[in-house]
Chain A
Amino acid sequence: MKIITKLITWSQMKSPWIIHFNSGACNGCDIEILDALTPKYDLERFGVLLKGTPRHADVLLVSGSVSRQIHKRLVRIYEQMPNPKFVVAIGACACSGGVFDGCYSTLGGVDKAIPVSAYIPGCPAKPEAIIDGMIKLLASLKE
């Protein structure tokens, strides 16, 4: 049994498929996420693939603070993902609300809506930081 669990953990570490969701970002962080996927940074060498549908994805990358309008949609997308699933909050806005914090139309950080596994700060978060955060999240699976 132990070997099978180990094998599954290994495969989860080696093949995180991501889906990207903009919950009200200024688009700065979204551009940086796309940047990390370009040939220059090449996330595929860590097994990362960008997927269009939440059903195929393991990791939900959320950028931007959660606006009240998008709150329900974000929760719905999260619920559509099959277990085990992880959420990564990218950028200062997604971590805590950032410059939009306290605004009448926003709820605050992503963790106000759904459980978050990793926070990647920065305004916008650098592609290197995003890759580093992803790798650290995957490494934490081992424990």
Chain B
Amino acid sequence: MTLDSVLSPLFFILVFPGFFFLSVYGTFLEWVDRKCYALMQNRIGPPIYQPVADFIKLLAKETIIPKHCDTALFKTLPFFAMASVITAMLLVPVWPQALFPFQGDLVVIIYLLTIPTMTFFLAGWSSSSPFATIGAVRVLTQLFAYEVPLMLALLGPAILAGSWNITEISKFMFQNPLLLIVQIPGFLIAVITLQGKLERLPFDIPHGETEIVGGAFTEYSGGLLAFFNLAIDMEMVVGAALINAVFLGGSMGADGILAIVVFLGKTTFIVLLLSVLKAIMARIRIEQMINFCWKILAPLSLIQIAMNIALKIRIG
């Protein structure tokens, strides 16, 4: 094993597109989201350094560990969430190509993005507080609602491209931009379900402050909470990057630095879409969300898939 073969994966994991890039860009996107939300409510909104200040403050705070909780689990969960998100990022194309493309990475990435949700559930469950337990159960219930439409929506372009490889799908979508017009329902479904995955309004049922105080994170404080927040920011970046790659043709054939600029611009655009959704809607109840996902989004995405199969047969 040469030094280079150890150093370059380390660079990928720790600097770009791994931990460092994701945390910087994630905190930036959190600011974009909060600022856009504030502007839509006719407010001034937080300054650009706000997420950084929040993070440092939480790190410096005392971390309280409840007496009756599973201490080891409670302490390691935020890092599990972060690790799985960073791993997922290694499979999304930031350059024209993903770092480690292979057939079926679309499925793997959806699986990796489910792990943070599971850690939220375990976080709530292991903190043994009634509010956190209710929040944890809601996290799982919500997972079953949005996961299926999200998967089906992402399948649409995969069927058209005839490949399970994200890099190939994004190349295909870029070469056939007209097909994007047919994919608009699928794109919207993916954006809405991503909102559910990130547990933001109108799907922030697992931590509805007015009902169950802090939801699954009720007992978390200090540094552990900071890392959970960071993991959620990172998940937002990866989710936006995934939708960008699958539906919007990824880096659009650009190369080098330009590819990264295109990537940043398009993911910011998707996050802006997410914050508009957040600003114009109020929280819905859990059974409304499940009805909406299973009775409206899932059939719609099935229709989308049927349409794509018909199209695929037409164009061959």
Partners in one complex: yes
Q: Which residues of A are at the interface with B, using a C-beta cutoff of 8 A? A: 7-8, 10-12, 14-15, 39, 42, 44-45, 47, 50-53, 55-56, 58, 80, 82-84
How many B residues, CB 8 Å from partner?
35
- Nearest-neighbour CB distance to chain B for A58, whole angstroms, equals 7
B210 sits at the interface (CB 8 A)? yes
Q: Is the CB of A14 within 8 A of B43?
A: no
Q: Is the CB of A15 within 8 A of B62?
A: no
Q: Is the CB of B60 within 8 A of A14?
A: no
Sample of 20 more A-B contacts, CB < 8 Å, known A14-B53, A55-B214, A58-B61: A8-B57, A11-B53, A11-B54, A11-B60, A12-B60, A14-B47, A14-B50, A42-B43, A42-B44, A45-B45, A45-B47, A53-B131, A53-B218, A53-B219, A55-B64, A55-B225, A80-B64, A82-B61, A82-B221, A83-B62
- Nearest-neighbour CB distance to chain A for B243, whole angstroms, equals 28
- Nearest-neighbour CB distance to chain A for B186, whole angstroms, equals 35
Q: Is the CB of B50 within 8 A of A15?
A: yes
Contact of B56 among A7, A50, A82, A83 (CB under 8 A): A7
B213 sits at the interface (CB 8 A)? yes
Residues of B within 8 A of A56 (CB): 214, 217, 220-221, 225
Q: Is the CB of A8 within 8 A of B44?
A: no
- Nearest-neighbour CB distance to chain A for B254, whole angstroms, equals 36
- Nearest-neighbour CB distance to chain A for B273, whole angstroms, equals 21
Q: Is the CB of B63 within 8 A of A82?
A: yes
Residues of A within 8 A of B225 (CB): 55-56
Q: Given A11-B57, A52-B210, A56-B214, A42 and B49 touching (CB < 8 A)?
A: no
B209 sits at the interface (CB 8 A)? yes
CB-CB contacts below 8 Å: B111-166 with A? 131
Instruction: Return the chain B residue nearest A84 by Cβ.
Output: B61
Contact of A82 among B41, B53, B54, B64 (CB under 8 A): B64
Residues of B within 8 A of A10 (CB): 53, 56
B42 sits at the interface (CB 8 A)? yes
Assembled-state Cα–Cα distance A123/B42 (Å): 29
Can you spell out 6 A-B residue pairs with CB atoms less than 8 angstroms apart? A7-B56, A14-B49, A44-B43, A47-B46, A55-B220, A58-B61
Assembled-state Cα–Cα distance A45/B219 (Å): 27
Q: Is the CB of A45 within 8 A of B44?
A: yes
Q: Is the CB of A52 within 8 A of B43?
A: no
Residues of B within 8 A of A83 (CB): 61-62
Q: Is the CB of B53 within 8 A of A39?
A: no
Q: Is the CB of B214 within 8 A of A44?
A: no
CB-CB contacts below 8 Å: B175-224 with A? 209-210, 212-214, 217-222
Q: Given A12-B57, A15-B50, A45 and B43 touching (CB < 8 A)?
A: yes
Q: Is the CB of A15 within 8 A of B61?
A: no
B259 sits at the interface (CB 8 A)? no
B34 sits at the interface (CB 8 A)? yes
Contact of A52 among B42, B60, B209, B221 (CB under 8 A): B209
Q: Is the CB of B219 within 8 A of A51?
A: no
Assembled-state Cα–Cα distance A56/B61 (Å): 10
Central interface residue in A47, A52, A53, by most chain B CB within 10 Å = A53
Assembled-state Cα–Cα distance A50/B38 (Å): 15
Residues of A within 8 A of B47 (CB): 14, 45, 47
Instruction: Return the chain A residue nearest B41 by Cβ.
Output: A39
Residues of A within 8 A of B54 (CB): 11, 15, 47
Instruction: Return the chain A residue nearest B40 by Cβ.
Output: A39
Assembled-state Cα–Cα distance A42/B47 (Å): 12
Q: Is the CB of B213 within 8 A of A52?
A: yes
Instruction: Return the chain A residue nearest B46 by Cβ.
Output: A44
Instruction: Return the chain A residue nearest B54 by Cβ.
Output: A15
Assembled-state Cα–Cα distance A33/B214 (Å): 20
Contact of B214 among A12, A15, A53 (CB under 8 A): A53
Instruction: Return the chain B residue nearest A19 by Cβ.
Output: B213
